[in-house]
Amino acid sequence: MTHRAVDFPRAPAVARRLVSLVAALCLASLGVQAVFAAGPTLRSLADARGVKIGTALAANHLSADATYASIGAAQFNSVTPENEMKWGVVEPNRGQFNWSGADQIVSFAQSHGQRIRGHNLVWHSQLPGWLTGGSFSAAILTSIMKQHIATEVGRYRGRVAVWDVVNEPFNDNGTLRSDIWTQAMGMGYIATALRAARAADPNAKLFLNDFNIEGVNAKSTAMLNLVKTLKSQGAPIDGIGFESHFVLGQVPSSLQQNIARFTALGVSVEITELDVRMTLPTTSAKLTQQASDYRTVVNACLAVSGCRAITVWEFTDKYSWVPGTFSGQGAADLYDQNLQTKPAYTAVQQVL
Ligand code: XIL
């Protein structure tokens, strides 16, 4: 027996073509086509413009799903841990810290040259039971908050570029949300949190982040007024995150104008958690509308010089938070359940 049968250069043309075809099919089934979606990657386009295109990532999926990890690395130049830096995960018991998920995402992002958005330090949700049930005095709660911020921001000093220091402080009518923070400290908790974050990493950009502040409305006006107040107090505030969890066809027409009224105050704006949900099942008309909605949002941000970053809240419908939160809704992301690009991906690619 000779080895002629596996001598590729001398194999007949038809056999060579067969081998190529099988190889292509194998690569496709491994999802390689999704990683190398047609055309330039989103991050290469964003890099060329000096902007960020980011995604939320989940540590458990990075470990378990190689295609997810490949796309997450190949397509995005900014990463936000979806849950791994939240209080309940990071400090499940008072003074006991668990960094495993956060460290995993930080090292993933660093090894792929991606910026990291830290999310988040102070919020009403996903808090550990010891904190919500602790009935702490204002003085104790203030020191717990400062300690938590100093520890988390300090750990990632120089590695996390941007922090959502306070998340979702307002009600939709523009009043301050009633939670453990406001009940103990009033509105002052926000400036206290910002100052603690600044002290722990003077170079990190400090943001407040909220939903339903994308258009001009009572809630965004309350946020705008908060920025003015913080600035007048000399509290460190660098930017405002517009979460941007949109409903199909309902991107606010005042989005760009609203971004501009914030940047006029000297803070930057980022789109921090973009997704566009629809009532399931999908149709091609809905996916076309969704592509148009994504295009509108990216255009509105990039039209304003103070808005240089757009982050999607997971890039694939496979792992989106939407179906678990909004009954009957889904398909909100750039990639479908099979990690294949959707029209929304192509729209973002074209705009970038
Ligand atoms: C969501 C995550 O995506 C879910 O996995 C988790 O169960 C709940 O939180 N606003 C935010 C994000 O600021 O942290 C939320 O993330 C979505 C809404």
pLDDT reading at 16 higher than 60: no
* Cβ atoms 93, 130 nearer than 8 A: yes
Lowest mean pLDDT among 21-30, 89-98, 314-323: 21-30
Q: How far is the CA of 321 from the centre of ligand 1 (A)?
A: 7
Taking all residues of the chain, what is their mean pLDDT, rounded to a whole number?
92
pLDDT digit string (tens) for 247-302? 999 999 999 999 999 999 999 999 999 999 999 999 999 999 999 999 999 999 99
Query: What secondary structure does DSSP assign to 106-165, as a single string?
Result: HHHHHHTT-EEEEEEEE-SSS--HHHHTS---HHHHHHHHHHHHHHHHHHTTTT--EEEE
Q: Which atom of ligand 1 is nearest to the CA of 167?
A: 13
Q: Which atom of ligand 1 is nearest to the CA of 324?
A: 7
Q: Which one is catalytic: 82, 152, 270, 273?
A: 273
pLDDT reading at 13 higher than 50: no
Active site residue 168: yes
* Cβ atoms 187, 193 nearer than 8 A: no
Q: Which one is catalytic: 152, 168, 214, 270?
A: 168
* pLDDT for the residue 4: 35
Kindly report the pTM of this predicted structure.
Answer: 0.91
pLDDT digit string (tens) for 173-209? 999 999 999 999 999 999 999 999 999 999 999 999 9
Distances (CA, A) of 173 to 16, 177, 243, 258, 271: 67, 10, 17, 17, 21
Pocket of ligand 1 contains residue 167 by CB under 6 Å: yes
pLDDT digit string (tens) for 92-125? 999 999 999 999 999 999 999 999 999 999 999 9
The mean pLDDT value for 24-52 works out to 73
pLDDT reading at 128 higher than 80: yes
Protein residue with least CA distance to atom 12, ligand 1? 82
Active site residue 84: no
